[in-house]
Chain A
Amino acid sequence: MSTAPPLLEVRDLEAGYGPINVLHKLSLVVNQGEIVTIIGANGAGKTTLLNAICGVVKARAGEVVFNVSPEVHARYGSTRGLVGSLVGVASNLTRRTAGVPVVGAVTRWATAGFVDGVLSVFADTFRLAASGPTAIHEVAPHNVVKLGLAQSPEGRKIFPRLTVRENLEMGAFTRRDTFQVQADIQKAYQMFPILGKRQTQPGGLLSGGEQQMLAIARALMSRPKLLLLDEPSLGLAPQIVVQIFDVIRELNKQGMSVLLVEQNARMALKVAHRGYVLETGRITFTDKADVLLHDPRIREAYLGE
């Protein structure tokens, strides 16, 4: 094992909905350059886990730590201009007045309401203190993607009445390098030529396989360091599944780290380096993917043998 800190580390994570806890003290690690897969049955908590990592579902306990690269820190590290200094002053005031009963509450309200709300209409108020391991369970969900972590969600969740091209542009929403974004859209069309042919069509008119390709391409548009894929094979014809897994392998060859959640355990374990088995919110096995692939218990429970 390398000594570098892992790209993503989940420690004792608990998350759920209402009175129900779905994840129970769940821990896992994704290293730089790895494809890690999480296999498990329906309702095991796979999607909840990905959503908790992205902050869409709030973590109730535990930590999600992401190793932020220096280039990302360079982009969000400094407080620039009027907006930046206003944010600085406001958060400073909030800290200082934290203990004061009424003033503290009013300052907090003004910071949350005015600074983050009103100023963010005009400029990006997100700031990063440092590069390196960063607790992302404390980052607002819409800021998580800025750290270099993108998700292709369960059920694809493409924007049905935006065109294919607009869907891709939304994937690059946090980026300001317009020309590079246009170049990346062309790259996406090279990776999935069918998207290029359909670029002016609304996303909702694409077939299931095309929508899955669009969802992956859209996630890649933010230039993530870690790609989270939720059930990319769900409901697709076998040859489309093969095509999508080829793309995942190819992305990984180019250096992308991938956290892959799958019900299609055989496909997932064939492409992954390591795997975790998730059962009712707990990790029950973890090992190298080819070991899991040949483990009789796994073969019986997940590979249908």
Chain B
Amino acid sequence: MVELFALSINDVATSSPAAGAGFGQYLLLGLVLGSLYALIALGYTMVYGIIELINFAHGDLFMLGSFLALQLAVWTGVTVAADSGTGSIILTVLLMLVLTPLCCAALNVATDRVIYKPLRNSPKLTVIVSAIGVSFIFMNLGLFWRGATQVKFPDLIPDIDLIGGASLRFTLKDAMVIGVTVPVMLALTVFVKFTSLGKAMRATAQNPTAAQLMGINADRVIAATFAIGGALAGVAAVVYGLYIKSVEYQMGFQNGLYAFTAAVLGGIGNIPGAVLGGLVIGVVGELGKAYVGAMWSEVIIFGILIVILIFRPTGLLGARTREKV
């Protein structure tokens, strides 16, 4: 387990800015990674909000998504940026950004239908243990698919510096992450706040019995929640692969743990909280790595989590203790 963490830190370090970079650079990297954690955290928090399940398989769904994106690049033949035209690179990235979320959404909904739904009225622990089981199934699928070593993800987005300042490098990759994650999160906010299904999701999370009396089909809302959570994980998987340029079958565990921590930090079940938690963990992790030392970064993250949960047990934005009937 310790090795695993060390490995993943090195992964991220490979994309870290060069030595001598300033505070702004680390902050930027933190925000970029944080918005990826936020996308994954949204899947944890939305599912928890509706059926009070910590979906431990969510991180591994993210991993399978990145493998699928990689496979799509293999199929289109666009694996080395230098050998491909700009047009085919753009098409491949778009294909990844459309198909991966769709497949992740379908897989997530199917998992719910086949595994969690028959257990809907079982004790919570039963469902959580089966989610851990699904996590292992997904992880081993990944192992079977791509083996135990790290796999290079096609480096399709060039590292062109967009602002050309001496103190801060803001590359096309950074712009890609922000350009994908921010609109996705805005779209989710609009969906949940203003659409009929979005309101039904919030209503079901707040009082499932009353929601049923309103004519809201809980199965429909739950399926939509799993679909949205899965799609967000799929988007995060594509962006992660393109940004970090390396994937492996255990990445779902580690990133899922960060994202889950982000969801708890922000207040599990709370959508803005998951985004805030993701950004906080990304920034704190990177700044900790830069100024305290890479080996301390996780100590700082989880230390902060513990301190926050002692003083605010419901998380930063959480106020959701559903009344028990």
Binding site for B on A (CB under 8 A): 54, 56, 113, 116-118, 120-121, 140-146, 150-151, 153, 157-162, 166, 169-171, 173-174, 218-219, 222
Say whether B213 contacts A145, CB under 8 Å: yes
Say whether, besides A141-B212, A153-B213, A170 and B199 are in contact (CB < 8 Å). yes
B217 (CB) vs chain A CBs: closest residue: A142
Say whether B223 contacts A118, CB under 8 Å: yes
Is there a chain A Cβ closer than 8 Å to B206's Cβ?
yes
Is there a chain A Cβ closer than 8 Å to B287's Cβ?
no
B325 (CB) vs chain A CBs: closest residue: A155
Give chain A residues whose Cβ lies under 8 Å from the Cβ of B113.
113, 117
Q: How far is the CA of A281 from the CA of B202 in the complex (A)?
A: 35
Which of B207, B211, B215, B223 gathers the greatest number of chain A CB atoms within 10 Å? Answer: B215
Which of B199, B213, B220 gathers the greatest number of chain A CB atoms within 10 Å? Answer: B213
Is there a chain A Cβ closer than 8 Å to B122's Cβ?
no
Give chain A residues whose Cβ lies under 8 Å from the Cβ of B231.
none
Say whether B220 contacts A173, CB under 8 Å: no
A142 (CB) vs chain B CBs: closest residue: B217
Q: How far is the CA of A246 from the CA of B205 in the complex (A)?
A: 33
Say whether A54 contacts B203, CB under 8 Å: no
A178 to chain B, nearest CB (A): 9
Report whether over half of chain A's contact residues are helix, strand or loop; otherwise say mixed. helix
Chain B interface, number of residues (Cβ within 8 angstroms): 24
A167 (CB) vs chain B CBs: closest residue: B203
Say whether B223 contacts A170, CB under 8 Å: no
Give chain A residues whose Cβ lies under 8 Å from the Cβ of B224.
121
Per the 8 Å Cβ criterion, residues 172-210 of B in contact with A are 196, 199-200, 202-203, 206-207, 209-210
Contact of B214 among A117, A121, A161, A171 (CB under 8 A): A171
Say whether B215 contacts A173, CB under 8 Å: yes
Q: How far is the CA of A169 from the CA of B196 in the complex (A)?
A: 9
B222 (CB) vs chain A CBs: closest residue: A117
Say whether A142 contacts B210, CB under 8 Å: no
Give chain B residues whose Cβ lies under 8 Å from the Cβ of A218.
214
Say whether, besides A117-B113, A121-B227, A162-B199, A174 and B215 are in contact (CB < 8 Å). yes
Say whether, besides A116-B219, A121-B224, A121-B227, A162 and B202 are in contact (CB < 8 Å). yes
A189 to chain B, nearest CB (A): 19
